[in-house]
Amino acid sequence: MTTSLLFVCLGNICRSPLAEGVMRHMASPDLRIDSAGTGDWHSGDAPDSRAQAVAAARGYDISAQRARQVSADDFAHFDLILAMDARNLDDLRQNPAFPGRAHVAQFLPYAGLASPLDVPDPWYSGDFDGTLDLIETACARIAAQLQ
């Protein structure tokens, strides 16, 4: 049974905070949900203001989240770790603590979606609405799977 879920992206200020915020609305309150970044440049920062804005427009308040880097402990403490893109998954695989007790997979394929495989990074594309569309679709499928 999956009781804890960690979403991982690069900076932990755009994609994984959105996934955390959406999943908190869709999953059982008993599921422990967190997010982290493979990089540490934004540790301690709130989500990107554009991510906060698209989230708020759809009823998700992600303003209290703060970025942190993935730690070795995460592999010991989470049942499921979902990477937003293939590079994030590769980076997780390089961690000496990988995979620990966690099942580590890529987010969209884990949700059963075949195309695209990666959640495109809105930090570069600016398409925060499209990012949130994808994340909502995938989170709904995963929440249903975890019931």
Give the residue numbers marked as catalytic. 9, 15, 121
For residue 16, the Cα-to-chain-centroid distance in whole angstroms is 3
CA-based angle 136:109:140, to the nearest 5? 25
Give whichever of 6 and 9 is closer to ligand 4NP, judged by the CB atom: 9
Q: Which stretch binds ligand 4NP (CB under 6 A): 10-18, 23-31, 73-81, 110-118?
A: 10-18
Q: Which stretch binds ligand 4NP (CB under 6 A): 7-15, 25-33, 99-107, 137-145?
A: 7-15
**Length of the chain measured in residues:** 147
Counting contacts by CB under 6 A, is residue 123 touching ligand 4NP? yes
| N- to C-terminal Cα separation, the chain | 10
- Burial class of residue 75 in the structure, from the number of CB atoms within 10 Å of its CB (0-12 exposed, 13-18 middle, 19+ buried): buried
Task: Report the residue from 6, 12, 22, 135 that binds ligand 4NP according to the rule CB under 6 A.
Answer: 12
Residues making contact with ligand 4NP (CB under 6 A): 9-15, 41, 121, 123
